[in-house]
Structures are given as C-alpha cells and as structure tokens.
Structure 1
Amino acid sequence: MPTAEDVTSRLGQLLVEEGLLSRKHLDDLLGSVPEAVLSRKRPGEIFLEKGLVGEEDLTRLLGTLYNLPVMRLDKVHIRPAILRLIPEALARRHRMIPLFLVESELTLAVTQPLDQKTLDQITRQTACTIAPVLIRRSDADMAFGLYYAEAGAEGDESREKLMAELDIAERQKPQDGRIEIKVGSKELDLRVSTLPTVFGEKVVLRLLNRQSVQVDLDVLGFSSGSLETIKRLSREPYGLILVTGPTGSGKSTTLYAALNFIKSPELNIVTVEDPVEYQLPGINQVPVNRKKDVTFATALRSILRQDPDIILVGEIRDPETGNIACEAALTGHLVLSTLHTNDAPSALTRLLEMGIEPFLVAPSLLMIVGQRLVRTICPACAEEVRPSRESLAGLGLADVPPDITFHRGRGCDACGRRGYKGRTGIHEVLVMDETLREMIAARATANAIRKYA
C-alpha cells in the first residue's frame, strides 16, 4: 500500500488539477514539511491543517484516488446488531464503522483506505466480504459519539453531576443543577436535569449563552407595528403583560429583552424564576426553592413588600400565583410573566380555567404576546422558487398574489447542507380593549376571542 507521503503527494496533484492549489504552493508546502512529519500524519491531513482544502473535498479526492464511493452519515441509522459485528476497540483503532449487512457483504465506513492486513483481519472477524466506503472524519466522530458512547456514559454522567453540584450517589429521584463554563470569550451556562428511568439515569444538558440575554427587542423579529406596541406598553406604570408559547419558543428571551429595554437605576426590578436561567446585572433575581418553601406564590408575596416597580414571574402555573400577579398589576406594579398556551387568545381562557376571576383578569391585562421560533433560510444558498398553486393551496395560501416571491435554501457548507441557518421569532400581539374585557367578563371562548382579534 502507498505510504502516507505518497498519498499526500498524489492528493496534492489532484488539488492542482482541480485548480484548488497552485503548483508552486504545493511544491513549497511539501518541501517545507519533513518526511518524518508527513509519515506520522493521515493522508492529506497537512492540507486540512493549512486550510487549503475542506473536509468534504479531501474525502472526495481520496475517493477518486482509491476508486472508493463516498458517503454521508447524517441520515444513516445503524442497527445495534450491525455495530456488534466489529469490537469497539478495533473500530476505534482504525476509525471505521459497520453500516449495512446485505447477505454476506458488510458495508464498512472508513476515514481512510485500510491496508490489506487490516481488511483480512476484519474479514476473519466478521466472516463477511468487506465493501469499504469513505466518510468524513467529522462523520466518524459523530458516529462514535452517538453509537459507542455507552461504555463511558456512566463516568460522564457522574462527572456532569459533580460539576453541577448534584448528589452523585442519588440515582432514584430527579435533580436539577447548572454548570458554568467559558469557551473562548463566551461565558456559557449548562442547565443539567437528571431523570431516573428503567434503563438507568437520563441526563439532559441545555446550553444557555449568557450573551444572548443582552438582546434588543429590535432584533427579535417583531414587525414594526408590534415592536412599537410592545415598547409603548412596556413603559406603562402598572398592568400585566404575558408572553405565551410552547416550551423552547423563546419566551424567556423576550421577557429579558423587555427588561433590558425598560430597566434603569431608578427602577426596582425583581424577578422570581425556576430556576434563574441568566443572571442580569442591576436586577434582583429570586430562585424558586421548594425545599425552603420559596414558591412563585410565596416569593411574590414577599416581593410585594419590597416596594418593587416591575416584577417578572417566570411562569404562572397555578391559581394562587395568577391571583397574586393580577392583584399586583392592579395595585401599581408592572408584572411580566409567561403562560404555556398555543396562541395569545388561548391565554385569556387559560387564566379563567385556572380559577382566576374575570374581575381580576380583565382590568389587569395590558397585552399578550404569542410567539414561535422558526428556522431561517441560509443567506449563503438562498434561491428564488415559484411553488405551484396546488402547493400553496395545501399550505392555506391559495389567495397569495402570484407576484409574491418565495425562497428556499439549496444547502451549502455554511449551513451543513440543510438549507437553514439560525432562527427567528414569529409573533402575534393581542392588545386589550374594552370589547375584549367585556368578552372576558362574559367568559367568551378562545375561538370567539380569536375571531374578534
């Protein structure tokens, strides 16, 4: 089999032939790196290190050089029975992952061509004919992390619990904690949640970027009219503002952005949260602690004795919290909170269903913001498309004018071939008026409120 130096040289020739590298640049590079160094590197690794070729192109060129097919693993699911055909230690040593078994032929994903001795060893081990395919190294890393993680999972779990200051010996009840880390110049928080299951303890980490809470209302995707309304009502001296939406729809981000907009040294702003996700300078934040009898309701009662100007309640979960929040909004405080409902009109009926009286809900509410997060098209590969009228009708857009332009993402390296990059919010803002207050007093349905709004 050719040496690593030979393969690197031949890859360099292909780079020159494809116009990705000049002949002089190639000669200068190979001449400046000792053979002893090249022999210790994987074929073509020097080109990756110097930024002369991307991983995608390097894998493709290796496939051309060795006449091997190239695959992506992002949409491949590997069955556990297939993985067990090759011992994990052997798979890790040679960076290979068994993919499919058709009759007696095993498709084997590799990051570089295997020598004959290794192929013979795998053939004996599996009693199969081996059909190698090339994959990117990042795909191999992903596969090893996804499919071979169990061996080190228990150690990782204990390490995460230790970093989150949880009880590592307690595996029979759920626990919550947080880890603070710094990556480069970014300060990140990891929310840690553990849950006992029949197969062992399940750990979920939620990544929170502290810098994201310094957002401005202007960059959250509100329309100009909605933005003006939110800013105007956020300056009101008293009343209740609700943000609704499912879990993970950005409700906390919207509330924090509102606080950033209205906060000043003269204002006494107090929050009660479960838990405190982000630490905000200049704001008094109270974490819920049920062991110490600090709930949303008990904390709210104490906060009202602290002469607050603005109160943020992480979530209205029960009638007691809802009643106190409405009473606070009626007695000279601006109260911001969240509800888990599908849209803004449903929030009104949800409050009534919780047992909060209409005579508290109707006069206290200022507005309700309903929101969702949606993916945004990658700007690097966006292209215009003209969907058929049938497609538009299926989406409920049959009345869209024919001159409206639609876009989609083709998929590129910038977005990982997905066609999407980033997210933005879509919102509805329901502002209270006398008619809505009368509908609340009459306990109107969500559909009736939605139809009016």
Structure 2
Amino acid sequence: QTLLESGDLDGDCYLAAMARDTGVTPIRLQRVEVGDDLVDLLPENLAKYYNVVPVAKVGKVLTVAVSDPFDIVKLDDIAMVTSCVVRPVLSTDFTIGKSIAEKYNQSGRKVQDLIDGMGIADDLDMQEVTEEDDDDDFLEEGQSSPVVKLVNLIIYQAIRDKASDIHVEPFEKQVRVRYRMDGVLKEVMQPPLKMHNSLVSRVKIMCGLDIAERNKPQDGKFQLKVEGRQIDFRVSTLPMVHGEKIVLRILDSSNLALSLESLGFEQKALDDIRHAISQPYGMMLVTGPTGSGKSTTLYSSIKEVLCVEENIVTVEDPVEYQLHGVNQVPVNPKRGLTFAGALRSILRQDPDTIMIGEIRDLETIEIAIKAALTGHLVFSTLHTNDAPSTITRMIDMGVDPFLVASATQCVAAQRLARRLCNDCKRPMEQLPPPERLLALGVLEEELDQVQIFEPVGCKYCQAGYRGRFALLETMPMTEDLRRIIISGGSALDIKETAMNEGLISLRRAGLLNMFRGKTSIEELLRVTIAD
C-alpha cells in the first residue's frame, strides 16, 4: 500500500497480479461514472467506512470496487444495507479513497447549497451523547460527510425554531422536510431526492436502528447535547410508497414550563386542578388528542405536589422528561413491562402519588381506580373529546359506574391554541355577521362588545402567531354528578349537569381568550368544536 501511494509500484501492474492470484476482475475507477442512483444506494459515510465504491447495478446485482474481495463480512454488510447481491471487482485502497472523494463530491455541493440557504454556521455547538466515551469508529467516519452535516443542521434549526417534531417525507419527485411549530406543520426545505435514503440511514445510525430494514416500521431514540443542554429525540420510521418516512419528536426540557400558572389556564380551571391534586387520594384525568399538552399538565401537577415527605412514582411510555426527586418507570412491552405490570409493582413500593402516562386498556384503568380508592393520588390521561365523555369512556371500557364515580376527583379536557403575536396582531376590520358569531357560541349580550383580532405576520413570529397556551375544560366531581353516573346517565346528561354547576367548555374558554385578543377566530375553529 505504501509503495502504491508513493508511486514506486504501478497500480495497473499491482491489480493485474492480484487479479491473477484471486481470479477477481480488476477495474480502473478513473473511467467509471457513478450515477446518482448508486450514490443514493450506498451513502457516503458507509462507502468511507467500508472503503468501497459502487460501480454498477444491474437488476438486483450491485458491483462494488474493493481492495480485498475476500472480506466476506464487509460484502455481507453491504448486501444487507443495499438489499442487493454484491459482486466485487478489484481496485486499490488509495484509488478507492480518491474515487469516493470525487464521486460523492457533487452530492456534497448540493448539500452545501442547502446548508448555505439555511443561514446557519457550519460550526454547530452540537454533539452526540453516547453511553461510552469512545465513540464508535463508524460514527466518527461519517461526521464530516455532507449528509451528516445536513441532518445536524435540520435538527439544529428545528431546535432553534422551537419545533416539537421533524418530518422527513419522500414523494415521487422530491423529499420534503417539515417542522411542527406551535402545533402546525411548516415546510422548511426540499433536499435532493437521491439523498433521501442517506438521510434516513443517518438518523437510523444515530438511534441504533437497522439500516438494512426498509420494509417495517422501527422506533428508536438518541440524545444530543446542543449549546450545553441535553435534548432527547424519539424516532419513528414508516415505509411509504416512495420510501421511508421518518419523524423525530424533540423533547427539550428547557422548553418545559413546570408551573400551572405558566400554562395560561382560566382561574376556574386552575382552581379546579389545584383542588384535585391537593386531595389525599382519588384520580385526576387529563384528556385530549396527541400533542394537546396533557403530559405537560401532568408534569406541572407533579411538580406542584412534589415534596421530600412523599413517594411520587410515574410509569410512562416513554419517559419524556426526567424530574428530580420523582421515581420514573419506563414501560417496555418488548421485555414484558406493561403499564398494568408496572402499576402492580409500584403499588408494592409504598407510593403516595402515581402518574400513569396513558390509560390504554381495562386492566390498567382497573388498577388505577383500585389505587385511587385505597389511599393513593393518581394522575393519568385518556384520549377523549371532552371531560363528560371521559366518564362514559371508562364505563364503556368495562369499569363499574359506581367505581368511576367514587374514584374520580376531576376530569380536565385540554387543547393547545396558538397565541397571536403582540407585535403584529390587529383588530378585524370586518367582523363576521351576528348569526355566525352566535353559531360560534357568542352570547347575544356580548355581540355589541365583541372585538376580534387577526394574525398578520412579522419578523418576530410564525405567520402571526408566537407560542401557544392551554385551553382547559375542567369537571370536578360533585355529588350530583356522582348520582347521574351511578344511575347510568349518558355523556349528554353528565355535560348538562356539569354546565349547570359552572363547567366552562373548551369552546367557551376559547371564546373568552379570543375576546381578550390572545387568539384568532381561525384558531378557535381549529382546536375546538361547538357545544
């Protein structure tokens, strides 16, 4: 190898001799054009790690240039990654390394154009957090590749923009990258289509997933240290028509507001929540769709009751944020640790307060109710549309109405609404007609005083909105409600009774915030339904 690099040994002579000894065909890489499809099939970091160059692909047979055609492990790995039958041809390490730099350079230039367009410096304060200090050589090899740079910058910009999720989506003629910001997806870039597999492979490598498996969903996680703070990522891949879609959930604890006041609740809702979590036992449920802030409300409630005199235990799938002083159990169904199984063990751990990340089945809800009725304070979440229907949902799951009525302290339905930007919002010049306002839920006596603001957009915000706040519909359990539940009342009966006792619905909470100029009529319609 030294003689080849110094020029003292002719490369063609060396290859001819090796070909005679091995029976493997030699190749002159200088004359080979590597197409975009081959670059996409074998990403640059893999090519560098294995020191191979893809030369041609005919059907399912991939021809690669290697210096050692008898390295079976290397060839098998490439076959797994590419889902091809690998045929080796012979070249030298020096020529292969030089060819990798040349063949993949065009892809690097396109990536650099994307990077320049993002307006972020290359020297990011971002590094992977691994269990061992000595990083894997495979990761080290890829750190400077264009794909790694692009993935790092996509993640960095998402964190800078306070995005909650990153979507990488393949289509027939393009790849789309979108961020979910303030609950709404926004397209941020379109990388070259041929880079899609490389992007997915890089993310899979970061979270230890099988890069050769492209036909089954996979889930993983990884950590990054960005500008001195540790950020967790949850990764999900899903096979689509044109390749794998990948979604990254960003869990940045520095963005977590762990106080009930900071969540923007109405005073009644805040009082109802505080009354429920101050009880010595019973169950409080927070309901709503995915991404409605349920976990944040539960974490804030835990923070409020946290003290050294009590044993607080959570069971979550996964543990989204780590809380100091709280015993947190991650569910792992693959290893036999389910919500129900974890709860049984927790009840033998002398708990005072238990938080269950999500109630998904009858077994879990039965154990939760048993805990609430035997002197424990229980917090959990359900997926229902409003507070009253949560009661009937538990009964439909198979729980006795008497147990539901006895164990439940409070039910809160929650949504997150985007907050209008204070720097650019403006009053609507033409208000909707009165009949439409009445249909929205505006009272007749409020029509004359209605003022509604609308989004504009400025340099400080995202299309007229900046941040989000919580809308909450709280239903504390009363004796009248318990009687309705035990007697088999419907969700409508429960809601009518709760409304008579002062329940503020999600729509009404949204209207009150719209009147104050906190949100828009479009946002009200997006996150709430009519009463």
TM-score tier, shorter chain, comes to: 0.5 to 0.7
Once the 2 structures are TM-superposed, how far is the Cα of residue 405 of structure 1 from its aligned partner?
2.6
Q: CA–CA distance in 1 between the matches of 2:188 and 2:413?
A: 37
1:410 aligned onto 2:473 = no
Q: How does 1:43-442 map to 2 (within 5 A)?
A: 92=110, 146-385=189-428, 387-390=431-434, 391-397=436-442, 399=444, 400-416=446-462, 418-442=463-487
2:221 and 2:232 in contact (8 A); partners too: yes
Once the 2 structures are TM-superposed, how far is the Cα of residue 357 of structure 1 from its aligned partner?
1.2
1:282-313 CA-to-partner distances (Å, cap 9, x unmatched) read 11111111122100101100100000011011
Q: CA–CA distance in 1 between the matches of 2:356 and 2:252?
A: 21
1:24-73 CA-to-partner distances (Å, cap 9, x unmatched) read xxxxxxxxxxxxxxxxxxxxxxxxxxxxxxxxxxxxxxxxxxxxxxxxxx
Q: CA–CA distance in 1 between the matches of 2:481 and 2:491?
A: 11
1:123-177 CA-to-partner distances (Å, cap 9, x unmatched) read xxxxxxxxxxxxxxxxxx9899743342222122122122112233333432222
Q: CA–CA distance in 1 between the matches of 2:306 and 2:401?
A: 30
Q: CA–CA distance in 2 between the matches of 1:338 and 1:380?
A: 36
Once the 2 structures are TM-superposed, how far is the Cα of residue 443 of structure 1 from its aligned partner?
2.1
1:362 and 1:441 in contact (8 A); partners too: yes
Give the aligned partner of residue 448 of structure 1.
Answer: 493
CA shift in 2, pair 1:93/1:350, >3 Å: closer
CA-based RMSD of the aligned residues comes to 2.7
CA shift in 2, pair 1:414/1:290, >3 Å: same
Secondary structure at the aligned position of 1:414 is classed as coil
Once the 2 structures are TM-superposed, how far is the Cα of residue 411 of structure 1 from its aligned partner?
1.7
1:214 and 1:260 in contact (8 A); partners too: no
1:311 and 1:336 in contact (8 A); partners too: yes
Once the 2 structures are TM-superposed, how far is the Cα of residue 199 of structure 1 from its aligned partner?
3.3
Q: CA–CA distance in 1 between the matches of 2:220 and 2:113?
A: 35
Once the 2 structures are TM-superposed, how far is the Cα of residue 436 of structure 1 from its aligned partner?
1.1
The sequence identity of aligned pairs, in percent, is 48
Q: CA–CA distance in 2 between the matches of 1:274 and 1:142?
A: 26
Q: CA–CA distance in 2 between the matches of 1:156 and 1:247?
A: 26
Once the two structures are overlaid, the 10-residue window that deviates more, 370-379 or 275-284, is 275-284
1:213 and 1:257 in contact (8 A); partners too: no
1:349 and 1:443 in contact (8 A); partners too: no
Secondary structure at the aligned position of 1:275 is classed as coil
Once the 2 structures are TM-superposed, how far is the Cα of residue 406 of structure 1 from its aligned partner?
2.1
Q: CA–CA distance in 1 between the matches of 2:427 and 2:438?
A: 19
Once the two structures are overlaid, the 10-residue window that deviates more, 155-164 or 290-299, is 155-164
2:224 and 2:230 in contact (8 A); partners too: yes
CA shift in 2, pair 1:91/1:170, >3 Å: closer
Q: CA–CA distance in 2 between the matches of 1:376 and 1:214?
A: 16
Q: Which amino acid aligns with 2:484?
A: M
Secondary structure at the aligned position of 1:413 is classed as coil
Q: CA–CA distance in 1 between the matches of 2:208 and 2:111?
A: 35
Secondary structure at the aligned position of 2:256 is classed as helix
Secondary structure at the aligned position of 1:437 is classed as helix
1:244 and 1:340 in contact (8 A); partners too: yes
Secondary structure at the aligned position of 1:237 is classed as coil
Secondary structure at the aligned position of 2:370 is classed as helix
CA shift in 2, pair 1:407/1:452, >3 Å: same
Q: CA–CA distance in 2 between the matches of 1:142 and 1:213?
A: 25
Q: CA–CA distance in 2 between the matches of 1:394 and 1:334?
A: 40
Q: CA–CA distance in 2 between the matches of 1:324 and 1:333?
A: 11
Give the aligned partner of residue 39 of structure 2.
Answer: none
1:313 and 1:335 in contact (8 A); partners too: yes
Once the two structures are overlaid, the 10-residue window that deviates more, 251-260 or 388-397, is 388-397
Q: CA–CA distance in 2 between the matches of 1:159 and 1:260?
A: 37
- Under a length normalisation based on structure 1, what TM-score does the superposition of the two structures give? 0.66
Q: CA–CA distance in 2 between the matches of 1:173 and 1:91?
A: 32
1:222 and 1:426 in contact (8 A); partners too: yes
Secondary structure at the aligned position of 2:359 is classed as coil
Q: CA–CA distance in 1 between the matches of 2:413 and 2:339?
A: 22
2:257 and 2:296 in contact (8 A); partners too: no
Q: Which amino acid aligns with 2:472?
A: H
1:323 and 1:360 in contact (8 A); partners too: no
Give the aligned partner of residue 151 of structure 2.
Answer: none
CA shift in 2, pair 1:199/1:331, >3 Å: same
